[in-house]
Chain A
Amino acid sequence: MNWGFLENVLSGVNKYSTVIGRIWLSVVFLFRILVYVAAAEQVWKDEQKDFVCNTRQPGCENACFDRSFPVSQVRLWALQLIMVSTPSLLVALHVAYRENREVRHKRKLYADKGSLDGGLFCTYTVSLLFKTAFEVGFLLAFYFIYNGFEVPILIRCSESPCPNTIFLYIMGCTSILCIALNVIEFVYILWKRLWKCVTRRYIPVEERHWNTSCQLNVIKLPDLPCHPTETPQLYSNHVHNFKSIANTEQSLFLLMCMFI
């Protein structure tokens, strides 16, 4: 078992992400998981064996190593990668819930199950917030446990049972880019939502009972009897999604937009 499991899970979530979300995923795979597996694990492989103390007192090396490195960097990175990848599963869970609902009610409820509108938008935003929180949390943990991002060459230790001792060590770090990507993605989807709200046009009640074949035909041949008076702009993607929303939900939706 290796990181392949996590990669499979994340690739599944990929199709419900925005463009920036996919960039984030590529960064995580290429620069973090790959680097971790190929390099970091090898570099830290024999960390305690190469931790040399200037003493022959038994137990001193154990005590000093434990005091200086309460958690190993590689393990902290592994935990960070696992925790940061997990919020994406919330989105996959939500889409699965939508699919389940369609099966239960035995009719098509959503024009596009994966589009980021309504509840899925909230879930996506929440998952982004969690990801950023975990990243920041782990970076802070790193900073405070190791007093910065530099690995010292020499550490002085006076843990019992040691007399005064001196050690040797070597190291290297990257997750500020991922935090930046998450923040950019958050701003991007908020901007997209705002743009949708601002440029949306209201469609009268009788036009809402379309069947999908009618909609598809209209995209190709605008002069079909469906709605010849509408301009082609109305058949763009975001209005297509809007049409699937029921009457009573519109006001709530608008309220949410205004609130954002």
Chain B
Amino acid sequence: IPLTYFLWSTDALLCACRMSWPALHTQLVGANRHSTSLGKIWLSVLFIFRVMVLVVAAESVWGDEQTDFTCNTLQPGCENVCYDQFFPVSHIRLWCLQLLFVSTPTLLITMHVAYRNHRDKKRLLQVSYKLESLKKRKLPIAGPLWWTYAFSILCRLLFEGGFMYALYVLYDGFRMPRLVRCDQWPCPNLVDCFVSRPTEKTIFTVFMATASSLCMVLNMAELTYLIAKSIQVSEGLHFYRPKQVHLML
């Protein structure tokens, strides 16, 4: 039975691979129940500022990138070769991969919760616990679940940082050049090649990099919060908070 949960999570990955963002959204929202508030904010930022912008806007900007990549030569094959030299991986594909990898660690949490539910199912059903409430119960983030959660945040941070660095290194910064000079075979000499929509691409690259940094900041804040909370609990420091509730908020 744990195998079914494993298969279900890989199915989520496959949905995302086929760029079925709604399916990914459904999977992540399910995992969202066990997140902290910062985790929920992170998910909203991810979907609104990154996935939506990618799908609605960025894909159409990069749509004609190879067809409108013109070189100042009539030599056949020169344009293809130069395009391949300067754009080994398209920005869009890199961002899709980044979003996919960044969303995956959340599925670890879902798998852990499913495993716990499966393990406790027999015991709880004997104590007349309903099956639906078993699925709906919210486990506190403590013990092994805390470690899984912290590990997933760490993975997210690593993937975000890794992909941003890869983009920076591959394209020499976040700017898209207007003109690239290329003398790969079969180009006859040093040929000028012109990129289509360089300014718009730069704007979107900067926007996605900013959104990615914001997500990294949120992840770091969440990790700090988790660590601080666990230190507080483990050292037994229970700060007394008066029961007066501020109803202004």
A binds B: yes
Chain A positions near chain B (C-beta within 8 angstroms): 1-3, 5-6, 9, 48-49, 58-59, 61-63, 65-66, 69-72, 74-75, 78-79, 82, 86, 89, 93-94, 97-98, 100-101, 105, 109-110, 118-120, 161, 244-246, 248-249, 252-253
Identify the stretch in B6-14, B103-111, B192-200 within 8 Å (CB) of chain A at 4 or more residues.
Answer: B192-200
Smallest Cβ-Cβ distance to A59: which chain B residue = B194
Among A48, A98, A244, residue most surrounded by chain B Cβ atoms (within 10 Å)? A48
The listed residue (B55, B71, B179, B248) touching A118 by CB distance below 8 A is B248
Contact B53 A82 (CB under 8 A): yes
Whole-angstrom distance between the Cβ of B51 and the nearest chain A Cβ: 7
Q: Is the C-beta of B98 less than 8 angstroms from some C-beta in chain A?
A: no
The listed residue (A1, A3, A70, A75) touching B60 by CB distance below 8 A is A75
- List chain A residues, Cβ under 8 A from B207: 79
Contact A72 B196 (CB under 8 A): no
Q: How far is the CA of A48 from the CA of B196 in the complex (A)?
A: 9
Chain B positions near chain A (C-beta within 8 angstroms): 21-22, 25, 37, 41, 44, 47-49, 51-53, 55-57, 60-61, 64, 68, 70-73, 178-179, 192-200, 203-204, 207, 244-249
Whole-angstrom distance between the Cβ of B128 and the nearest chain A Cβ: 23
Known: A61-B70, A66-B197. 16 other contacts (CB 8 A): A6-B52, A58-B194, A62-B194, A62-B196, A65-B197, A66-B178, A66-B196, A69-B200, A72-B197, A82-B56, A97-B37, A98-B249, A100-B37, A109-B245, A244-B247, A252-B248
The listed residue (A2, A78, A109) touching B247 by CB distance below 8 A is A109
Whole-angstrom distance between the Cβ of B239 and the nearest chain A Cβ: 15
- List chain B residues, Cβ under 8 A from A245: 247-248
Contact A79 B53 (CB under 8 A): yes
- List chain B residues, Cβ under 8 A from A248: 244
- List chain B residues, Cβ under 8 A from A86: 48
- List chain A residues, Cβ under 8 A from B200: 66, 69-72, 75
Given contacts A63-B194, A82-B53, contact A71 B199 (CB under 8 A): yes
- List chain B residues, Cβ under 8 A from A253: 248
- List chain A residues, Cβ under 8 A from B57: 74-75, 78-79
Q: How far is the CA of A110 from the CA of B204 in the complex (A)?
A: 43
- List chain A residues, Cβ under 8 A from B56: 2-3, 78, 82
Chosen A-B contacts, 5 in total, with CB atoms closer than 8 Å, are: A58-B192, A59-B72, A79-B53, A82-B48, A245-B248
Contact A62 B249 (CB under 8 A): no
Q: How far is the CA of A244 from the CA of B47 in the complex (A)?
A: 37
Q: How far is the CA of A256 from the CA of B93 in the complex (A)?
A: 51
Contact B249 A97 (CB under 8 A): yes
Q: How far is the CA of A119 from the CA of B248 in the complex (A)?
A: 6
Whole-angstrom distance between the Cβ of A80 and the nearest chain B Cβ: 11
- List chain B residues, Cβ under 8 A from A161: 72, 192
Contact A5 B47 (CB under 8 A): yes
Whole-angstrom distance between the Cβ of A76 and the nearest chain B Cβ: 9
